[in-house]
Amino acid sequence: MHLETERLLIRDINLDDKQAIFNYRSDAEANKFQSWIPETLEDVEQFIERNNKEFNQPESWYQVLITEKDTKTVIGDIGIHFFGAENLQTELGITLNKDFKGRGYASEALKGLINFLFSDLKKHRIMASVDPENIDSLKLMERIGFRKEGHFVKSLFWKNNWTDDVIYALLREEWIKE
Protein backbone atom coordinates (compact mmCIF):
# COMPACT_ATOMS: atom_id res chain seq x y z
CA MET A 1 0.00 0.00 0.00
CA HIS A 2 1.36 3.38 -1.00
CA LEU A 3 -0.86 6.46 -1.13
CA GLU A 4 0.09 10.14 -1.26
CA THR A 5 -1.93 13.17 -0.24
CA GLU A 6 -0.83 16.80 -0.29
CA ARG A 7 1.31 16.53 2.86
CA LEU A 8 1.25 12.84 3.73
CA LEU A 9 2.41 9.43 2.63
CA ILE A 10 0.30 6.47 3.73
CA ARG A 11 2.37 3.33 3.43
CA ASP A 12 2.97 -0.20 4.63
CA ILE A 13 4.54 -0.79 8.02
CA ASN A 14 7.89 -2.56 8.34
CA LEU A 15 10.15 -3.56 11.23
CA ASP A 16 12.28 -0.43 10.78
CA ASP A 17 9.24 1.55 12.01
CA LYS A 18 9.02 -0.19 15.40
CA GLN A 19 10.66 2.56 17.48
CA ALA A 20 8.58 5.33 15.89
CA ILE A 21 5.39 3.34 16.45
CA PHE A 22 6.35 2.55 20.04
CA ASN A 23 7.06 6.23 20.72
CA TYR A 24 3.47 7.34 20.14
CA ARG A 25 1.49 4.12 20.69
CA SER A 26 2.95 3.39 24.16
CA ASP A 27 1.51 6.59 25.66
CA ALA A 28 -1.40 5.07 27.61
CA GLU A 29 -3.03 8.39 28.49
CA ALA A 30 -2.92 9.80 24.94
CA ASN A 31 -4.23 6.49 23.57
CA LYS A 32 -6.84 5.70 26.20
CA PHE A 33 -9.44 4.98 23.52
CA GLN A 34 -7.16 2.54 21.65
CA SER A 35 -7.37 -1.20 22.14
CA TRP A 36 -3.64 -1.80 21.68
CA ILE A 37 -0.99 -0.02 23.77
CA PRO A 38 2.43 -1.68 23.51
CA GLU A 39 4.55 -2.02 26.63
CA THR A 40 7.79 -3.03 24.88
CA LEU A 41 9.47 -2.83 21.48
CA GLU A 42 8.92 -6.57 21.23
CA ASP A 43 5.18 -5.94 21.43
CA VAL A 44 5.50 -3.66 18.40
CA GLU A 45 7.60 -6.22 16.52
CA GLN A 46 4.94 -8.86 17.11
CA PHE A 47 2.23 -6.42 16.00
CA ILE A 48 4.11 -5.70 12.76
CA GLU A 49 4.76 -9.39 12.12
CA ARG A 50 1.04 -10.20 12.69
CA ASN A 51 -0.08 -7.50 10.24
CA ASN A 52 -1.74 -9.07 7.23
CA LYS A 53 0.72 -9.32 4.33
CA GLU A 54 -1.87 -8.71 1.62
CA PHE A 55 -3.99 -5.60 1.26
CA ASN A 56 -7.76 -5.81 0.61
CA GLN A 57 -8.29 -9.38 1.81
CA PRO A 58 -11.80 -10.25 3.05
CA GLU A 59 -12.20 -10.62 6.82
CA SER A 60 -8.81 -9.13 7.63
CA TRP A 61 -7.28 -6.10 9.31
CA TYR A 62 -4.47 -4.25 7.54
CA GLN A 63 -2.45 -1.56 9.30
CA VAL A 64 -0.77 1.32 7.42
CA LEU A 65 1.44 4.15 8.62
CA ILE A 66 0.85 7.86 8.20
CA THR A 67 4.08 9.78 7.56
CA GLU A 68 4.86 13.39 6.71
CA LYS A 69 5.77 13.39 3.04
CA ASP A 70 8.64 15.89 3.34
CA THR A 71 10.30 14.70 6.57
CA LYS A 72 9.27 11.00 6.43
CA THR A 73 8.35 11.32 10.13
CA VAL A 74 5.91 8.65 11.30
CA ILE A 75 2.94 10.50 12.79
CA GLY A 76 0.30 7.79 13.15
CA ASP A 77 -1.40 4.75 11.72
CA ILE A 78 -4.70 3.60 10.30
CA GLY A 79 -6.26 0.18 10.73
CA ILE A 80 -8.38 -0.97 7.82
CA HIS A 81 -10.79 -3.84 8.40
CA PHE A 82 -12.02 -5.46 5.21
CA PHE A 83 -15.20 -7.33 6.11
CA GLY A 84 -18.09 -9.18 4.55
CA ALA A 85 -17.86 -12.08 2.12
CA GLU A 86 -18.39 -9.70 -0.81
CA ASN A 87 -15.43 -7.58 0.43
CA LEU A 88 -17.20 -4.29 -0.29
CA GLN A 89 -17.19 -2.82 3.21
CA THR A 90 -14.40 -1.51 5.41
CA GLU A 91 -14.00 -0.22 8.92
CA LEU A 92 -11.39 2.40 9.71
CA GLY A 93 -9.59 3.24 12.93
CA ILE A 94 -6.94 5.93 13.27
CA THR A 95 -4.25 6.70 15.83
CA LEU A 96 -2.31 9.95 15.63
CA ASN A 97 0.77 10.95 17.61
CA LYS A 98 -0.42 13.59 20.10
CA ASP A 99 2.40 15.91 18.96
CA PHE A 100 0.79 16.13 15.52
CA LYS A 101 -2.84 16.67 16.47
CA GLY A 102 -4.66 19.85 15.49
CA ARG A 103 -2.95 20.22 12.10
CA GLY A 104 -5.55 18.52 9.91
CA TYR A 105 -3.43 15.40 9.39
CA ALA A 106 -6.13 12.94 10.53
CA SER A 107 -8.69 14.50 8.16
CA GLU A 108 -6.23 14.55 5.28
CA ALA A 109 -5.12 10.95 5.81
CA LEU A 110 -8.65 9.60 6.14
CA LYS A 111 -9.98 11.57 3.16
CA GLY A 112 -7.12 10.29 1.00
CA LEU A 113 -7.75 6.72 2.08
CA ILE A 114 -11.52 7.05 1.66
CA ASN A 115 -11.05 8.39 -1.88
CA PHE A 116 -8.85 5.38 -2.68
CA LEU A 117 -11.25 2.87 -1.13
CA PHE A 118 -14.28 4.27 -2.95
CA SER A 119 -12.74 5.29 -6.28
CA ASP A 120 -10.08 2.63 -6.86
CA LEU A 121 -11.36 -0.36 -4.87
CA LYS A 122 -15.07 0.43 -5.44
CA LYS A 123 -16.02 -0.20 -1.80
CA HIS A 124 -19.72 0.23 -1.03
CA ARG A 125 -19.56 1.40 2.61
CA ILE A 126 -16.96 2.59 5.10
CA MET A 127 -17.69 2.70 8.81
CA ALA A 128 -16.03 3.62 12.09
CA SER A 129 -16.73 2.57 15.66
CA VAL A 130 -16.11 5.38 18.16
CA ASP A 131 -16.25 5.58 21.95
CA PRO A 132 -18.78 8.35 22.70
CA GLU A 133 -16.34 9.85 25.21
CA ASN A 134 -13.78 10.32 22.43
CA ILE A 135 -15.05 13.76 21.47
CA ASP A 136 -12.16 14.50 19.08
CA SER A 137 -12.92 11.38 17.03
CA LEU A 138 -16.65 12.10 16.98
CA LYS A 139 -15.91 15.58 15.61
CA LEU A 140 -13.43 14.16 13.10
CA MET A 141 -15.99 11.71 11.70
CA GLU A 142 -18.57 14.46 11.26
CA ARG A 143 -16.03 16.91 9.83
CA ILE A 144 -15.03 14.54 7.03
CA GLY A 145 -18.63 13.71 6.13
CA PHE A 146 -19.52 10.54 8.01
CA ARG A 147 -23.11 10.09 9.11
CA LYS A 148 -23.95 8.88 12.61
CA GLU A 149 -25.85 5.61 12.22
CA GLY A 150 -26.35 4.64 15.81
CA HIS A 151 -25.40 4.89 19.45
CA PHE A 152 -25.42 1.47 21.07
CA VAL A 153 -25.66 1.49 24.85
CA LYS A 154 -23.25 -0.77 26.75
CA SER A 155 -22.89 -2.94 23.66
CA LEU A 156 -19.13 -3.47 23.70
CA PHE A 157 -17.17 -5.31 26.39
CA TRP A 158 -13.87 -3.44 26.34
CA LYS A 159 -11.12 -3.23 28.96
CA ASN A 160 -13.26 -5.26 31.39
CA ASN A 161 -16.23 -2.89 31.20
CA TRP A 162 -19.38 -2.56 29.17
CA THR A 163 -19.11 0.59 27.10
CA ASP A 164 -21.22 2.44 24.57
CA ASP A 165 -20.34 2.36 20.89
CA VAL A 166 -21.17 5.02 18.30
CA ILE A 167 -21.20 3.88 14.68
CA TYR A 168 -20.48 6.29 11.84
CA ALA A 169 -20.68 5.32 8.18
CA LEU A 170 -20.46 6.64 4.67
CA LEU A 171 -21.69 5.15 1.40
CA ARG A 172 -19.78 5.50 -1.84
CA GLU A 173 -22.69 7.35 -3.46
CA GLU A 174 -22.65 9.88 -0.61
CA TRP A 175 -18.91 10.47 -0.96
CA ILE A 176 -18.73 10.62 -4.76
CA LYS A 177 -21.44 13.28 -5.10
CA GLU A 178 -19.66 15.69 -2.72
Per-chain mean pLDDT for the chain: 95
Q: Model-level pTM?
A: 0.94
Residue 135 to residue 129: CA distance in whole angstroms: 13
120 phi and psi, to 5 degrees?
A: -90, -45
Task: Pick the closest to residue 66 from 30, 102, 23, 109 (CA basis).
Answer: 109
Residue 2 in this model has a pLDDT that exceeds 90: yes
% residues pLDDT > 90 (the chain): 89
Residue 123 in this model has a pLDDT that exceeds 70: yes
Residue 66 in this model has a pLDDT that exceeds 90: yes
Mean pLDDT of the 48-59 span: 93
pLDDT band at 75 (very low <50, low <70, confident <90, very high): very high
Residue 139 in this model has a pLDDT that exceeds 70: yes
- Helix, strand and coil content of the chain, in percent to the nearest 5, comes to 30, 35, 35
Mean pLDDT of the 11-40 span: 92
pLDDT band at 176 (very low <50, low <70, confident <90, very high): confident
In the chain, the amino acid numbered 150 is G
pLDDT band at 178 (very low <50, low <70, confident <90, very high): low
Is the separation of the CB atoms in 60 and 82 below 8 Å? yes
Residue 143 to residue 162: CA distance in whole angstroms: 28
pLDDT band at 34 (very low <50, low <70, confident <90, very high): confident
